[in-house]
Amino acid sequence: MHHSFFQASTSGRKAPWLLLLLCVGLLWQTAAAQEIKSPNANLTLTFALQADGVPTYRLTYKGREVIKPSKLGLELKNAPALTSGFAVAGTKQATFNETWQPVWGEVKTIRNHYNELAVTLTQAATQRTLLVRFRVFDDGLGLRYEFPRQPKLDYFTIKEERTQFALAGDHKAFWLPGDYDTQEYSTVTSNLSEIRGKMKAATTPNASQTPFSATGVQTPLMLKSKDGLYINIHEAALIDYSAMHLELDDQSFVLTSHLTPDAVGDKGLIQTPANSPWRTVIVSDKAGDILESKLVLNLNEPTKFKDVSWIKPVKYVGVWWEMITGKSTWSYTNQENIKLDSIDYSKVKPNGTHGANNAHVKEYIDFAAKHGFDAVLVEGWNTGWEDWFGKHKDYVFDFVTPYPDFDVVELNRYAASKNVRIIMHHETSGSVRNYERHLDSAFQFMNKYGYNAVKTGYVGDIVPLGHHHYDQWVNNHYQYVLEKAAEHKIMVNGHEAVRPTGLARTFPNLIGNEAARGTEYEAFGGNNADHTTILPFTRLIGGPMDYTPGIFQTKVSAYNPQNTSFVHSTLARQLALYVTMYSPLQMAADLPETYNQHLDAFQFIKDVAVDWDDTKVLEAEPGDYITYARKAKGKTSWFVGSTCDEQGRTSKINLSFLDPSKKYVATVYADAKNAHYEKNPQAYAIRKMNVTSKSKLSQYCAPGGGYAISIMEAGAAR
C-alpha cells in the first residue's frame, strides 16, 4: 500500500484546509503536510493533519514504509482530549549537527545529527496548544509531545497517550509480554499476528507482574519486515512520566502507546511546561545499524554534572552467584518473621550458610586483587534478609546495619589495602518509601566506609501497593535515588527498575540496569539459547545491562545438588558476552574456585576492557547471531565477541578494523568442535595467532555457543 502526500506551505499561523484525499484502504485526509528528511535523505518524515484535525505522521526509509500514517495525541482525565480538532499554528524546521563525548561508552565520540520539525498545534475549541517535535536522524526518528505553559493547560492528568505506530505488515517481532512490573520474560520470536496466541505461555511467573492485555508488548520492541527492514521502537529520556508499552491491533498491525497506570489508574500528572519522553523508531535495512545506533542517547540531554571524575567503569566479582544457585544464603539465620526494630541478631542462632561473612568476603577480595578486578559486590551483608521477600513489608531493611559476621570497617579497610572497592547492595523489596526514608543515611554510610557504587533492587510488588515498577510516581523514585546518589558521588546499578531510556547520557552515574532476564535465570530454569542474540536488539537499545556473565560452571547442581538448572550457553560464549553485551559494569559472576580451574579461559575476562574508543558490528541478525569488535579505551587492543543461537554456525569476519600499520597477536577463545550448550558446554579451545588488518577469520560457533578474541598489538604489554 502506498500513499501520496501533499506538501503544503504551512509555516504560517493558520493552516489552510486542503482538499481531501481518499487513499486506498485508509482515509488519510491531509490538511497540512510537512516533510523533513534525514541528513542522508534515506528517511522521510511527513506530518499531516487529517480533515478532523487529527495530527498524523508517517516515516519512510529509502521509499519503503516504516510507519504508515499514524495518529498522534493524548486523552486526558476530566478534560477534552488532545487528539483532534487541531489546526497547525506554525511549523519550524532546524538542523543540528554536533559531536559529543560520553563519560563512558561504546565509542569515544558520538555524532548527533538530525533535521528537526516542530509543529505547533492549536485546538480552537479549548484554546489549548500542543507541540509535536520530530527529529529525523540517519538511523531513525524521535518524536515527542511538548506542552507549553498556557492558561488553559496548566495541570492535567493523562488518561492515555495515543501515539500510533502503524506498521506496514505482519512483521517478525522479538517481544515480551507487556507488563507494568517486570521485563523478566523470555523473548518470544513470532510474527505480530501470532502474539495473541502465544501471550499466555509467554507470561511466565514472576515475583511481581501485572500483564495488561493479550496483545500488549514491551519496548524496546525489535521488528523485521518481510522485505528485510529492521525496525526498533522504544522511548528516550523517560523522566517524570510513565513508561510506555505498546498495544497491538493484530488486524491492522497498528501499535498504540499504552502507559503504565498508578494506583488509581492515572497515567501521568503533568504540570506545564512539560515534554513527553521521545518515542523512537530506529530503522535500517542492515541489522547491525540498529546495534550501532546512538539515537536514544542523542535524544537525551547532555549531562549537567560538572565533575565526572568519580564515575568509572567497573569490572567486578561478587558474593552473589553462590546465593542465586542456593549454595549459600543472603540471610544470617533461618528464623522467619523478624522485625528489624526488635530482633537481636547476636542472640539468634546463625544458619551457618550466610555468604557475606568476613572470611569469605576476604577470599573474594583476595581473588579480585590478585586478578585485577576493581570491585567485589557483596549481597546479604545487611540485616533483614530473613523475610525480605513477598511480604509487602514496609520496614524491610535499614541499609546501614551489617549482620554480626560482616565487619564493615575491617572489610572496607582490607579491600582498600588491596586497591579493591566493595560494591554496596541496597535491596528494597519494592518498599520505596522505606528506601527514601533511609537514603540519606545509607549514602552517608557508603561515603563514610568507602563505597562508591550501589546495586539497588526492587524485587516484589511496589509498596505502597497499587503502584507499579514503571509508573510515573515510581519512575520519579528511581530518578530521586539517581540524583541523590550523584550528590554523594555514588554510581548506581538498578535492578528490577524501569528499563533504561538513555538517561545515562544525562546522569552518567547510572552505570547499569537489569530490566530483563539476566544470568540469574540460568539458575531458575535457564534462558533461551538465543537470548543473547536478541538482547542487544531489544533491552540494550535503552542502555547497558548488568547481565553478569562469566559462568564457567554451567551445571548449577555443582553448587547446589537440588538445583537442576543449567546455563544455556557454552563456556566460550560466556566470554563473548563481555563484548556483545555492552556494559561499563561487567561482572565475573562465577565463583573463584571455578575460575581457578580454568585460568586459561579466565584470562580473557581479566584482559577484556569495560570502556571503549570504538565499536563495530561485524555480523548481526536478531535471534541468530551477533559479532562485535571493540577497541579498548585509550589502547591499541581490540576485543571481538560472537554469540549465536541454538543452531550453531560458522562466523566469517575480517579484521579490517585493525590499524593497517600495526601487527597484532590474537588469542581466540572458542568452542571446541564437539561443544554444545547443553551436552558439552565446557569444551573450549584457545589458540593464538598473528593477525593484521588484512586477516580474515572463519570461526565455528557451537549450538548456544560463541567465541571471544583478544587482539593485542604485537610486543605490547597486556
List residues with catalytic annotation: 520
Q: Does 263 bind a second copy (CB under 8 A)?
A: yes
Q: How far apart are CA 114 and CA 142, in angstroms?
A: 10
User: Which H or E run includes 575?
Assistant: helix 571-580
**Least distance from a second copy to the Cβ atom of residue 227, Å:** 47
Helices 358-371 and 408-417 sit at what angle, rounded to 10 degrees? 20
Q: How many residues bind a second copy (CB under 8 A)?
A: 30
> Quick one: which segment of 67-75, 149-157, 421-429, 506-514 binds a second copy (CB under 8 A)?
149-157
Give the Å distances, CA to CA, from 421 to 215, 313, 708.
45, 13, 27
Return the residues of window 371-390 that contact a second copy according to CB under 8 A. Answer: 387
Report the residue number, 150 or 682, with the smaller CB distance to a second copy. Answer: 150
Say how far apart CA 488 and CA 443 lie, in whole Å: 7
Window contacting a second copy (CB under 8 A); options: 214-222, 256-264, 420-428, 584-592: 256-264
Q: Which is nearer to a second copy, 480 or 700 (CB)?
A: 480
Stretch near a second copy under the rule CB under 8 A, chosen from 154-162, 219-227, 299-307, 412-420: 154-162
Minimum Å distance from CB 395 to a second copy? 9
- Which residues does residue 113 pair with via DSSP β-bridges, in sequence order? 97
Q: Does the footprint of a second copy cover residue 272 (CB under 8 A)?
A: yes
Site string for a second copy, 310-339 (x = CB under 8 A): --------------------------xx-x
In the complex with a second copy, the residue whose CB is nearer, 66 or 432, is: 432
Strand partners, 146: 131, 275
Pick from 166, 212, 174, 179: nearest CA to 194: 174
CB of 473 to a second copy, least distance (A): 5
78 near a second copy, rule: CB under 8 A: no
Distance CA 277, CA 146 (A): 9
Q: How far is the CB of 692 from a second copy (least distance, A)?
A: 55
555 binds a second copy (CB under 8 A): no
Based on the shown chain and the rule CB under 8 A, indicate whether residue 464 belongs to the binding site for a second copy: yes
CA angle 419, 420, 423 (to 5 degrees): 150
By CB under 8 A, tell whether 349 contacts a second copy.
no
User: Quick one: cell of 619?
Assistant: 555480523
Does 437 sit near a second copy (CB under 8 A)?
yes
Q: Which of 95, 155, 599, 659 binds a second copy (CB under 8 A)?
A: 155
Q: Does 152 bind a second copy (CB under 8 A)?
A: no
Long-range contacts of 191-198 (CB under 8 A, 24+ apart): 192/167, 192/223, 192/248, 192/250, 192/253, 193/250, 193/253, 195/248, 195/250, 196/250
Which distant-in-sequence residues (6+ apart) come within 8 Å of 409 by Cβ?
449
> Is residue 262 involved in binding a second copy (CB under 8 A)?
yes
| DSSP character string of 442-506 | HHHHHHHHT--EEEEE--SS-BSBTB-TTSHHHHHHHHHHHHHHHHTT-EEEESSSPPP-SGGGT
Q: How far is the CB of 627 from a second copy (least distance, A)?
A: 46
Quote the least distance from Cβ 392 to a second copy, whole Å: 6
Output the smallest distance, CB 87 to a second copy, in A: 24
Using the contact rule CB under 8 A, the part of the chain among 3-11, 172-180, 462-470, 655-663 near a second copy is 462-470
Would you state the cell numbers that stand for residue 124, as one nine-digit string? 480552537
User: Which candidate, 451, 449, 539, places its Cα nearest to that of 489?
Assistant: 451
Residue 411 Cα distances to 133, 417, 695, angstroms = 52, 10, 48
Q: What pairs with residue 350 in β-bridges?
A: 333
392 binds a second copy (CB under 8 A): yes
Q: Using an 8 Å Cβ cutoff, are 503 and 239 in contact? A: yes
From residue 185, give the alpha-carbon distance in Å to each of 526, 530, 546: 11, 14, 16
Q: Given the rule CB under 8 A, which of 84-92, 120-128, 174-182, 257-265 is the region that contacts a second copy?
A: 257-265
426 lies in the site for a second copy, by CB under 8 A: no
Smallest gap, in angstroms, from Cβ of residue 303 to a second copy?
A: 17
- Which amino acid, residue 575? L
One residue of 194, 250, 266, 366 binding a second copy per CB under 8 A: 266
Of 36 and 474, which CB lies nearer to a second copy in the complex structure? 474
CB count, 10 Å around CB of 38?
22
Q: Which stretch binds a second copy (CB under 8 A): 38-46, 431-439, 515-523, 541-549?
A: 431-439
Q: Of the two residues 335 and 656, which places its CB atom closer to a second copy in the complex?
A: 335
- Asked if 127 interacts with a second copy (CB under 8 A), we say no
Integer Cα distance of 47 and 15 in angstroms: 13
- Give the H or E element holding residue 414: helix 408-417
CB of residue 311 to a second copy, shortest distance in Å: 24
Residue 292: CB partners within 8 Å, gap ≥ 6? 139, 615, 616, 617
- Can you tell me which of 37, 198, 362, 433 binds a second copy, judged by CB under 8 A? 433
Q: Minimum distance from CB of 441 to a second copy (Å)?
A: 9
Grid cell 509543529 is found at 119
Q: Is 633 a residue that touches a second copy (CB under 8 A)?
A: no
Window of 251-259, 432-440, 494-502, 538-546 that interacts with a second copy by CB under 8 A: 432-440
- Which residue of 11, 99, 109, 271 would you call a contact of a second copy, by CB under 8 A? 271
> Least CB distance from residue 477 to a second copy, whole Å?
8
Strand partners, 424: 454
Mask of contacts with a second copy, 582-621, x by CB under 8 A?
----------------------------------------
> Which amino acid is residue 59, in one-letter code?
L
Q: Which of 391, 489, 606, 635 binds a second copy (CB under 8 A)?
A: 391
Residues engaged in binding a second copy (CB under 8 A):
149, 154-155, 157, 262-264, 266, 269, 271-272, 336-337, 339, 387, 391-394, 433, 436-437, 440, 464-467, 473, 476, 480
